Amino acid sequence: MTATTPSIPQTTERLQPSLVWVIALKEIREAVRSKWFWMWTVAFASLAAFMASVALPGSQVTGYGSFGRTAASLVALAQIIVPLMGLTLGAYSIAGQRETGALRFLLSHPVSRSEAFCGTYLGLAISLAGTVFGGFGIAGVITVAQGGGANAASFVRIAVLSWLLAVSMLGFGMLVSTFTRRSSAALGTAIFLWLGFAFLGDLGVMGTAVATRVPTWGLLASAVLNPVEAFRLASLSAFSGSLDVLGPAGSFAVDTFGDRLGLLLFLNVVIWAGVPTVAAWARFTHGGDV
Amino acid sequence: MITIRNVTKRYGKTEVVKNFSLEVAPGESIAMWGPNGAGKTTVVRCILGLVAYEGTITVGGLDARRYGKSVRKAMGYVPQELSFYDEMTVYELLDYAAALRGISQDRVDHLCEVVVLTEHVNKQVRELSGGLKQRLGIASALLPDPPILLLDEPTSNLDAQARDAALELLQGLRDDGRTLIVTSHHVEEIAMLVDRVVAMEHGEITVICDPSDLAEELGLRAWLHLILENGSAEHALQVLTDLGFPTKLNSRGVLVEVSAQGKGEAVAALQRAGVEIKDLEIWR
């Protein structure tokens, strides 16, 4: 042990990427060890594999039709499961660490709140990438093995969109987590949000549209303002190139935005990936006690 | 080294720390003593920047709020209990803490030897006893060889043997010239470790004194519950009452009120009078 000195050297107070990465790596290691993480990974990969295998046999369809059918099934799967994964992981992240004292331990080191937040977020986002791309990868391999294979670029685009949806929900989950001191309350709120995004949003839009005769642009706007619907629109656009399936609202969107529609829908998902995360970061770094 | 001025911390409308001011000199060791809820841990959390507070705290001349990372770089913190990162092994946890401070793995190996954890490095944190967890916390806090150590209830949850070992380790750290701030609600355990005791109650400082003067300063009293041979309770009561001790009889023996440092006087008086004491308990 060395003798001590009363003076304290001033070091940088700015965000250090190397520290963010140290925390992210710890999160990834914890995710790999977590039974919840593997439960999601196995569930998503199994369902994806199941959908890929039942979408093709006996269909006598190859090329676009084969991959398109698998992609459509995976979009339907992703819009239910992926938000739940992201929301619950995010909701548990900060509240869980706060509950056990791990957050206090982390922040008792020369680590800023921004570094703690960004490291946690990055680690979980990478872990979610493993789950999402693992599931899509398995589905892709099965599809190719059964004779599908065309339009793989669209398939990859949907996988990326699914990950962006996961990241968006992770941000929402972390936002919830910054407001609650107990992980059980955070998880409960996250599941409530999931119901809102995945089911009530869709049904609510339909019901409201019928009851109030919402104009077509209003219907499109309400879909774009729900991140799960935004993902669905962008994915439909990615593998079919049109939004005809949405009826008048889809036609309105195609007529209004033309060739830029696909890019705009993709950007909409990107924005949804960023907005809740920035809100959660602001709340965590400027918020109260640990 | 550490200057705390007019620090107030509120949770909602409740003030848990009220206008707290304290100056800690370099190399000085301070005990913050008081019952649960006195505000000791909250003061430590304020110094670490874990909670928002009113007032100012400077460490080594740096404002703890503005230069939080620099201040924490100079401090090691031992939490009351390591009840997290349960899945990690001892080595993984120390390696993580070292990476957060940019410290080499050689230092981790060295500290495992210093706190006698080497044979436990591959155990998961959840497998460790309270004493081993305490040593792990200390090892983690010592990674940067910090001039300041903050220890939150370092002897709570420890059995007598582990407590003695922890105190011996902490005494060595104090002798190295580090500045120590220790919170405890058992001041007698850490009295030999500190230069001053800051007694707290309801978030306020009630007295700052030398550890040996604390009982006198606070007028601390204790009850001795003496278990006696059958038939000797009346005689014991008489002896103690004659000496001016407040006493009571109960079903199992005699209760006698003594000053915190005068417990032996009552026992010795009874022995002189030929009263055989089978057992005794101290009630606070």
Instruction: Return the pLDDT at A68.
Output: 67
**For the structural domain made of B221-283, what CATH number should be given?**
3.30.70.100
Instruction: Return the pLDDT at B150.
Output: 96
Mutate to test the interface with B, among A109, A114, A283, A290 (most CBs of B within 10 A): A109
- The pLDDT tens digits of the residues spanning B237-274 come to 889 888 888 888 887 788 888 876 677 888 888 888 88
Instruction: For residue A63, name the pLDDT band (cuts at 50, 70, 90).
Output: very low
**Is the pLDDT assigned to residue A1 strictly greater than 50?**
no
- Could you write out the DSSP letters of every residue in B123-192? SBGGGS-HHHHHHHHHHHHHTT--SEEEEESTTTT--HHHHHHHHHHHHHHHHTT-EEEEEES-HHHHGG
Mutate to test the interface with B, among A8, A12, A97, A290 (most CBs of B within 10 A): A8
Instruction: For residue A35, name the pLDDT band (cuts at 50, 70, 90).
Output: confident
Task: Output B254 or A200, whichever has higher pLDDT.
Answer: B254
Q: How far is B129 from chain A (nearest CA, A)?
A: 18
How long, in residues, is chain A?
290
Instruction: Return the pLDDT at A244.
Output: 66
Fold of B2-218: Rossmann fold (3.40.50)
Instruction: Return the pLDDT at A205.
Output: 64
Closest CA to B193 of B215, B212, B208: B212
Task: Output A215 or A6, whichever has higher pLDDT.
Answer: A215
- The most confident of the ranges A184-198, A217-231, B147-161 is A184-198
Cα distances from B249 to residues B223, B258, B259, B271, B277, in angstroms, run 12, 15, 19, 18, 15
Cβ–Cβ < 8 Å for A81, A44: yes
Torsion sign over Cα A102, A107, A113, A119? negative
Average confidence score pLDDT of chain B: 88
Chain-chain contact of A8 with B96 (C-beta, under 8 angstroms): no
Chain-chain contact of B84 with A97 (C-beta, under 8 angstroms): yes
Closest residue in chain A to residue B48, using alpha carbons only: A108
Closest residue in chain A to residue B63, using alpha carbons only: A10
Instruction: Return the pLDDT at B263.
Output: 77
Determine the Cα–Cα distance for residues B234 and A190; give it in Å rounded to an integer: 68
| Helix, strand counts (H, E) of chain A | 12, 0
Cα distances from A244 to residues A69, A204, A236, A249, in angstroms, run 16, 21, 9, 8
**Is the pLDDT assigned to residue B187 strictly greater than 80?**
no
Closest CA to B86 of B112, B123, B58: B123
Chain-chain contact of A104 with B45 (C-beta, under 8 angstroms): yes
Average confidence score pLDDT of chain A: 83
Task: Output B5 or A1, whichever has higher pLDDT.
Answer: B5
Q: Which residues of A touch B62 (CB under 8 A)?
A: 8, 10
Cβ–Cβ < 8 Å for B113, B90: no
Q: Which residues of B touch A12 (CB under 8 A)?
A: 69
Burial class (CB in 10 A: 0-12, 13-18, 19+), B159: exposed
Of A12-16, A57-61, B254-258, where does mean pLDDT reach its minimum?
A: A57-61
Size of interface A-B (CB pairs under 8 A): 109
Paired with B149 in beta bridges are B76, B180
Burial class (CB in 10 A: 0-12, 13-18, 19+), A245: exposed
Domain ranges of chain B: 2-218, 221-283
Determine the Cα–Cα distance for residues A118 and A277; give it in Å rounded to an integer: 10
**Helix H or strand E segment including B2:** strand B2-11
Cβ–Cβ < 8 Å for B201, B34: yes
Q: How far is A43 from chain B (nearest CA, A)?
A: 23
Instruction: Return the pLDDT at A3.
Output: 40
What is the average pLDDT across A241-248?
Answer: 65
Percent of chain A whose pLDDT exceeds 90: 42
In this structure, what DSSP letter does residue B234 have?
Answer: H
The Cα diameter of chain B in Å comes to: 69
Cβ–Cβ < 8 Å for A44, A135: yes
Task: Output B80 or A187, whichever has higher pLDDT.
Answer: A187
Q: Which residues of B touch A10 (CB under 8 A)?
A: 62, 67, 70
Cα distances from B93 to residues A278, B45, B120, B132, in angstroms, run 29, 21, 12, 13
For Cα atoms B7, B13, B17, give the angle at the middle one, nearest 5 degrees: 25
Instruction: Return the pLDDT at A4.
Output: 46
**Is the pLDDT assigned to residue A142 strictly greater than 50?**
yes
**Is the pLDDT assigned to residue A52 strictly greater than 70?**
yes
Closest residue in chain A to residue B83, using alpha carbons only: A100
Instruction: Return the pLDDT at B181.
Output: 95
Percent of chain B whose pLDDT exceeds 70: 97
ipTM of the complex, rounded to two decimals: 0.83
**Span between the terminal Cα atoms of chain A, in Å:** 31
Q: Which residues of A touch B68 (CB under 8 A)?
A: 13, 112
Instruction: Return the pLDDT at A246.
Output: 63
**Is the pLDDT assigned to residue A59 strictly greater than 60?**
no
Residue from the list A13, A105, A112 with its beta carbon closest to the beta carbon of B84: A105
- The pLDDT tens digits of the residues spanning B118-162 come to 999 999 999 998 888 988 999 999 999 999 999 998 887 777 777
Residue from the list B11, B82, B101 with its beta carbon closest to the beta carbon of A110: B101
Query: SS3 breakdown of chain A: % helix, strand, coil, rounded to 5?
Result: 80, 0, 20
Of A180-184, B63-67, B169-173, B199-203, where does mean pLDDT reach its minimum?
A: B169-173
Q: Which runs of consecutive H residues, i.e. helices, occur in A182-260?
A: 183-195, 201-212, 216-224, 227-240, 248-257
What is the average pLDDT across B48-67?
Answer: 94
What is the average pLDDT across B4-21?
Answer: 94
